[in-house]
Amino acid sequence: MSEKTIRPVSWGENGTVRILDQTRLPLETVYKECAQVGDVWEAIKSLRVRGAPAIGVAAAFGIALVANRSNAQSTDALLGELDRAADYLASSRPTAVNLFWALDRMRARAAELAQKPIEEMKRGLTEEAQAILDEDDQLCRAIGEHGAALIQSGEAVLTHCNAGGLATSGYGTALAVMFTAHSQGKRLEVYANETRPLLQGSRLTTWELMRANIPVTLICDSMAAHLMQSGKVQRVVTGADRIAANGDAANKIGTYGLAVLAKAHDIPFHVAAPTTTIDLSTPTGGDIPIEERAAEEVTEGFGRRTAPPGVQVYSPAFDVTPAELIASIITEKGEHKAPYGPALKEAVQS
């Protein structure tokens, strides 16, 4: 692991879940050692760990934590504890499907291990969480390869929110495309939307790209239309929190607007995500639950009140980009184009 490798979530030396506290970035690099499942829940809820794959990894380690700390005397009792913990962690955030995918995988592994001695079950669940992390790293690197093939040297790419190493096991999805293109010697320039209200683009994406020596320019979300109109952007690449079976993709609020703008300016709009973000059981984007966040994140984000006390606020954290606005979806399996129904089914099941 090079000193530049980001590990947003890992298994701590003392049997804790170690989380890089993203609310403190870019000014401070502080880790939170989660010793209780409630700490993991809180870290996900408050976006100390965020981004669809990273939330899944954190939840998987949360289950390993419960197993390792348990005093249960029978595997049946332990299975019950793990099931309650999985339900609890599932209540932290509703939109990113990787959370539920990872919890289901941990539940399935627990059921498989139920015939083994308790200590073996604990060890097996810790290994499973680590496997989810390691596999995500492989998926992200493959996404980077497939996505980088689309990037022409000299292009400027616009991205939204943070779909980088911080949002995954360490390499990213949308940013993996840029990291890989850069490592192949392609000249590229990135515009990062600041991403109101929680500024993941400003705080996290610019930080990651600057560490990688990729030229990045920060813009306010409202500047994207002007940038496209003045020919400064040749491509948009974002991540996703959940991709429905028909290709509609939920991602950070503001993504849909970017896709509409990209269409209006004839700029390709791509979604980069692992197949663990595709949810074939959700037929369309209209079926994806959209998280709503607290009013204070809009009225007094980062410690300064910017709206009159008592003002009514509506703060959906995600929006859905309809499949027809997406030029292609890049997964670890390759680049997928419309019609997305069969293409995504094939990608998930192959």
Q: Would you please indicate which residues are annotated as catalytic (active-site) residues?
A: 241
Within a 10 A sphere around the Cβ of 213, how many other Cβ atoms? 9
d(CA 11, CA 132): 12
Stretch that binds ligand MRU, among 30-38, 67-75, 126-134, 238-246 (CB under 6 A): 238-246
Quick check: 203 binds ligand MRU (CB under 6 A)? Answer: no
On whether the CB atoms of residues 183 and 4 are closer than 8 A, the answer is no
Stretch that binds ligand MRU, among 49-57, 78-86, 147-155, 211-219 (CB under 6 A): 49-57
Of the residues 168, 202, 282, 328, which one makes contact with ligand MRU according to CB under 6 A: 168
- Please enumerate in sequence order all residues whose Cβ is within 8 A of that of 274, keeping only pairs 6 or more positions apart, or say none: 53, 136, 139, 140, 143, 173, 331, 332
Of the residues 239, 247, 254, 285, which one makes contact with ligand MRU according to CB under 6 A: 239
Quick check: 50 binds ligand MRU (CB under 6 A)? Answer: yes
Count the alpha carbons within 13 Å of 197 in the hemisphere toward its beta carbon: 21
Stretch that binds ligand MRU, among 119-127, 162-170, 179-187, 296-304 (CB under 6 A): 162-170
Stretch that binds ligand MRU, among 51-59, 128-136, 177-185, 228-236 (CB under 6 A): 51-59
Quick check: 167 binds ligand MRU (CB under 6 A)? Answer: yes
Of the residues 317, 325, 330, 347, which one makes contact with ligand MRU according to CB under 6 A: 317
Over the Cα atoms of the chain, what is R_g?
Answer: 20
Within a 10 A sphere around the Cβ of 238, how many other Cβ atoms? 26
Per-residue DSSP letters for 238-255?
A: E--SEEETTS-EEEETTH
Torsion of CA 214, 331, 134, 348, to 10 degrees: 170
Quick check: 52 binds ligand MRU (CB under 6 A)? Answer: yes
Residues linked to residue 329 through DSSP beta bridges, in sequence order: 271, 336
Of the residues 161, 178, 216, 327, which one makes contact with ligand MRU according to CB under 6 A: 161
Which residues ranging from 77 to 96 are in contact with ligand MRU (CB under 6 A)? 96
Which residues ranging from 246 to 275 are in contact with ligand MRU (CB under 6 A)? 251-252
Residues of this chain that interact with ligand MRU (CB under 6 A) are 47, 50-53, 96, 161, 163, 167-168, 173, 200, 238-241, 251-252, 317
